[in-house]
Structure 1
């Protein structure tokens, strides 16, 4: 979905995993807030693209399915960008459906000399073809346990690499544990986040950024 308008004149998103907060109005007048990744932004046109998963069982999904041209929404952020350099020897991107916009944006922003591996668990029919100037490979699985098995079996490359992960809370915590505790990857070079939590709404959490 594309958002446009003069209010975006000073919009800035410097990191692939930035979040903007969309603020919806429920029927009873209360505010409903959800975090979304800025997929792309055209400063000349002042057009911001955000991807919605139309799974049909969430407030934001239902709003997006019924949105029309000219409809207005309140948006805030990004509050600040966490910049991950692109010059690591290798990059590992791990995620589920909620992480696909950030992963796609990261791959598109990597330089030609970069090397990346993507492990994604998609419960939806989203089997997009990623684009990148970098050399990259993609492993796709259907279930969270399959994703964890892939991470368990993964042999990390030599050299200095950076790992980025965004999934359901328990899965993200386990991915970080596997990579940091069991495989010895440095805490300084991994960012693991919960983009959602089973049984909760509007959940966002980061693990071990110490």
Structure 2
């Protein structure tokens, strides 16, 4: 229980700090982060990327996703499956037509417009959301375990297969000593507005 309490306390602290940023600051910093992510060699060489749409005071991902579509990437996005408590993945080709608010009001793929992707073996690059990140690659999510379960699914199918795991975060989201459990997956890159950290 102690680790859960520590995680929740850290979540509240970082979310509060993130919400202190003005909309203008978040827009400016998000742009800088998007440019840095797009300059990663792992992104440039990727054919298929798994992205997400931000919500709340998260780093804005929309411009980066638009860039990926313009770059001719196959863009996949997750949708919460309430029955399985896991993420289903769909291909998205147009942000205006293919997405609608889903669980927690996050933009998600419309199942009637998008193709469901059952095999994730072609994914080269995954952009992961989160609340806090460490220089050691530790990631603190929102507590639902959705992405950890998704990454476990990918690894279970082919243990040797490893897409690039990347997080875009404001510098204020960098934290030392994030509590970790055995089910928590680490990222390989943490990209902030000021630096690109290779774990």
Question: Which bracket does the TM-score occupy, shorter chain normalised?
Answer: 0.3 to 0.5
Instruction: Give the TM-score normalised by structure 2.
Output: 0.40
**Relative to total residues, which structure has the larger helix share, 1 or 2?**
2
Instruction: Give the TM-score normalised by structure 1.
Output: 0.38
**Relative to total residues, which structure has the larger strand share, 1 or 2?**
1
Structure showing greater radius of gyration is 1
